[in-house]
Chain A
């Protein structure tokens, strides 16, 4: 029974289960509402189901039971192509097409959506500048000629190209060195708040969650254990949350 979402919710999970015939439940009974404009971070170790949760949103996967709604409509009722073009998707290392130039990578969704050449070119320049890459220097290069951090910026630019209301990010900064990661995290937080984008970001890095999230969803073995703001997450006495917070203290202590 689809429930009436609040006016400001963009994505809703209603009693979602996802399982494969060969394995136990990957997602169990997930209920979650993502508000417009917020950055929700799903935190958890590998295999906890956070990436699966993300793929249920843009219908790379469909629920075995329950329903995922995007803009009030179940993903199964969406035309998958139309749905995906309204959702930006960023994965580790960017998932760039190695045979496309940077400009063509970034301009892909506009081109698919039938924008004319001039408008696409203009949009690509604008986006590259937005993510801190000089269009004159980078537009005609190929992904292999860029550093990991630069590729990740291109990945974000590509996800933003058609101005989608929602961004999905799967460990977007995971493969970067700590300094690059920190600066990209800051820029990303800045960018989403400036553009007013809704984002669901998946990470196993509790620091990243604390920096970027308006709310943190802690996942474990396919279940959402906790859904709190960073402040209340830090104060939580849930054992799983405490384990994450403790790692933070140990590494802080080591750093001092």
Chain B
């Protein structure tokens, strides 16, 4: 599919994402200005506060955005998942340039001009409003401009906490190795940043009193800025107008940030909708976000794997018996989190240790133990998740005595392509990944049974099941409904054939009479 065709097919979704993006950036900047400018003014009046406050704002900006989102998620009121968290993080990022430029702008006003103002008999407030602020405005707008451009960039990452925006396309594009998605997301974000920069630049010119001659440009800039504010305001107002009928038949369905998880979530979402339940989709949340969100009550349900719950959430040492793991998880989730575990869906998604098929045939490799002697010549590529979790790399390399020439930590979805294009020689993928067959990758058998069973299940809050009885019916219908082969095929429909997940799910459900 060409990029142009992609745009024609997806323009309405793209516009929605652009709107979410603009609303986030606009609201964040608005709040940051409301907080930042008065703070900056205060700092010009109280020299002693200047160091500490600017220092704190500075530190805020050095925190990597994903880490900042991570800190915010468990916090009450300002945290959780969704636009609110993203907004808080964006405001924190935007404060520094705005506060700093307000201080610089005001302190940069010619001392003789300020002195003249005081000597004319202006009160403090008059000096501030009539002299200092107007003269500092150019510098303040520069700060707002810098903050806005930064915010447009950071907002792409906000998709990881379920806030929407163009990051949704970028993350999805990375995951599915889909250049059209990547390009549409990144290009739109870049255009937004350029547009914001351009218009705020024109506005900034409006305030340079030393060089301005009577020209129409500032009026155009002012008009454009006003238009931007109005459009942003309308978008904001309409954005806040989303259906909020928190009736009893409303369910918030989450998913992790990979295709299969989003697909499983979409299956439940469509089945619930078919039963008249309104569904809020909070898909593609990073790391253990869905768990935190469910425990805190923001999510009602999301798909999970028993092995992940067992090791990453409950912190047990990996073990091989599927039944024991399922029972243990079910019992502990009920007592610790008031969360129910659905019957298994019928397939496992375990880590698949993959090498190139051609390499496996040449060296006659069948199991991971077969491959161990070759590891010293190999580069391995692992996702961040695999590197860090209890049942991941450290135990894995120890169990098989693996010593790689080099281990690269990279985005999971990129590892498949890295392997087939010989950038790396061994990866830890997902066993249900559709590209295993299409890229001619070979799965080495886990002959020492290191990886715990990862049966797919849904986790659902107990109070949600009580509130929405349709949930229990849907989950029982899905018991043993999906085989590993079927899951692999569904994944490939989306990742390989680039089809829309809603459509794939709709087709599958009707084919199965669900």
* Bound: A170/B119 CA distance, A: 12
List of A residues within 8 angstroms of B112 by Cβ? 91-93, 95
Determine whether the beta carbon of A82 is less than 8 Å from that of B116: no
Q: Is B496 an interface residue (CB 8 A)?
A: no
Q: Is B497 an interface residue (CB 8 A)?
A: no
CB distance from A72 to the nearest CB of B (A): 20
Determine whether the beta carbon of A99 is less than 8 Å from that of B121: no
Q: Which residues of B113-147 are within 8 A (CB) of A?
A: 113, 115-123, 126, 130-131, 134-135
* Bound: A92/B111 CA distance, A: 12
CB distance from A200 to the nearest CB of B (A): 13
Q: Which residue of A lies closest to B131 (CB)?
A: A97
Which of B119, B123, B211 is close to A58, meaning CB atoms less than 8 Å apart? Answer: B119
Contacts A144-B209, A144-B210: A95 and B122 contacting too (C-beta < 8 A)?
no
CB distance from B211 to the nearest CB of A (A): 8
Q: Which residue of B lies closest to A86 (CB)?
A: B121
Contacts A84-B120, A84-B121, A112-B126: A60 and B131 contacting too (C-beta < 8 A)?
no
Which of A91, A96, A109, A142 is close to B121, meaning CB atoms less than 8 Å apart? Answer: A109
Main secondary structure on B side of the interface with A: helix
Determine whether the beta carbon of B131 is less than 8 Å from that of A91: no
* Bound: A80/B127 CA distance, A: 14
Q: Is A173 an interface residue (CB 8 A)?
A: no
* Bound: A158/B120 CA distance, A: 9
Contacts A91-B112, A93-B112: A82 and B209 contacting too (C-beta < 8 A)?
no
Which of B113, B120, B135, B212 is close to A109, meaning CB atoms less than 8 Å apart? Answer: B120
CB distance from A172 to the nearest CB of B (A): 12
* Bound: A84/B115 CA distance, A: 12
* Bound: A31/B121 CA distance, A: 26
List of A residues within 8 angstroms of B126 by Cβ? 112
Q: Which residues of A105-120 are within 8 A (CB) of B?
A: 108-109, 112
Contacts A99-B134, A144-B209: A84 and B113 contacting too (C-beta < 8 A)?
no
Q: Which residues of B293-326 are within 8 A (CB) of A?
A: none
* Bound: A108/B127 CA distance, A: 12
CB distance from B163 to the nearest CB of A (A): 40
Q: Which residues of A61-115 are within 8 A (CB) of B?
A: 80-85, 87, 89, 91-93, 95-99, 108-109, 112
List of A residues within 8 angstroms of B118 by Cβ? 60, 84
Determine whether the beta carbon of A85 is less than 8 Å from that of B135: no
Q: Which residues of A122-141 are within 8 A (CB) of B?
A: none
Contacts A112-B126, A142-B209, A144-B210: A97 and B115 contacting too (C-beta < 8 A)?
no
* Bound: A142/B113 CA distance, A: 15
Q: Which residue of B lies closest to A161 (CB)?
A: B120
* Bound: A84/B124 CA distance, A: 13
CB distance from B97 to the nearest CB of A (A): 23
List of A residues within 8 angstroms of B120 by Cβ? 84-85, 89, 108-109, 112, 158
- A60, A80, A95 — which one has the most chain B CB atoms within 10 A of its CB? A95
Q: Which residues of A161-183 are within 8 A (CB) of B?
A: 168
Q: Which residue of B lies closest to A109 (CB)?
A: B120
* Bound: A79/B116 CA distance, A: 18
List of A residues within 8 angstroms of B209 by Cβ? 98-99, 142, 144
* Bound: A97/B126 CA distance, A: 13
* Bound: A87/B118 CA distance, A: 12
* Bound: A118/B113 CA distance, A: 27
Determine whether the beta carbon of B116 is less than 8 Å from that of A89: yes
CB distance from B253 to the nearest CB of A (A): 55
Interface size, chain B (Cβ < 8 Å): 20
- Size class of the A contact interface (CB-based, 8 Å): 20 to 34
Determine whether the beta carbon of A98 is less than 8 Å from that of B210: yes
Contacts A84-B118, A142-B209, A144-B210: A98 and B113 contacting too (C-beta < 8 A)?
yes
Q: Which residues of B164-215 are within 8 A (CB) of A?
A: 209-212
CB distance from B338 to the nearest CB of A (A): 62
* Bound: A82/B120 CA distance, A: 10
Q: Which residue of A lies closest to B123 (CB)?
A: A81
Q: Which residue of A lies closest to B112 (CB)?
A: A95
Determine whether the beta carbon of B121 is less than 8 Å from that of A60: no
Q: Which residues of A27-59 are within 8 A (CB) of B?
A: 58
Q: Which residues of B66-116 are within 8 A (CB) of A?
A: 112-113, 115-116
* Bound: A96/B120 CA distance, A: 11
Determine whether the beta carbon of B113 is less than 8 Å from that of A60: no
- B119, B131, B210 — which one has the most chain A CB atoms within 10 A of its CB? B119
CB distance from B92 to the nearest CB of A (A): 32
Contacts A95-B113, A95-B115, A98-B113: A81 and B121 contacting too (C-beta < 8 A)?
yes
Q: Which residues of B197-235 are within 8 A (CB) of A?
A: 209-212
List of B residues within 8 angstroms of A112 by Cβ? 120-122, 126
Contacts A98-B210, A112-B126: A85 and B121 contacting too (C-beta < 8 A)?
yes
* Bound: A74/B101 CA distance, A: 40
List of B residues within 8 angstroms of A85 by Cβ? 120-121
Determine whether the beta carbon of A97 is less than 8 Å from that of B121: no
* Bound: A82/B123 CA distance, A: 10
* Bound: A58/B119 CA distance, A: 7
List of A residues within 8 angstroms of B211 by Cβ? 144
List of B residues within 8 angstroms of A80 by Cβ? 121
Determine whether the beta carbon of B115 is less than 8 Å from that of A99: no
Determine whether the beta carbon of A84 is less than 8 Å from that of B119: yes
Bitwise interface map of A from 188 to 231 toward B, beta carbon under 8 Å scored 1, else 0: 00000000000000000000000000000000000000000000
Determine whether the beta carbon of B119 is less than 8 Å from that of A60: yes
Q: Which residues of A144-170 are within 8 A (CB) of B?
A: 144, 158, 168
20 extra interface residue pairs, beta carbon distance < 8 Å, beyond A60-B118, A97-B117, A97-B131: A58-B119, A81-B122, A82-B121, A84-B119, A85-B121, A87-B119, A89-B120, A91-B115, A92-B112, A93-B112, A97-B113, A98-B113, A98-B210, A99-B209, A109-B120, A112-B121, A144-B209, A144-B211, A158-B120, A168-B119
Task: State the B residues within 8 Å of A (CB).
Answer: 112-113, 115-123, 126, 130-131, 134-135, 209-212
Task: State the A residues within 8 Å of B (CB).
Answer: 58, 60, 80-85, 87, 89, 91-93, 95-99, 108-109, 112, 142, 144, 158, 168
Q: 10 A-B Cβ contacts within 8 A?
A: A80-B121, A85-B121, A89-B116, A91-B116, A96-B116, A98-B113, A98-B135, A112-B121, A142-B209, A168-B119
Ranked nearest first, the 8 interchain pairs of A and B with the lowest CB-CB distance are: A95-B116, A84-B121, A85-B121, A89-B119, A98-B209, A95-B112, A99-B209, A99-B134
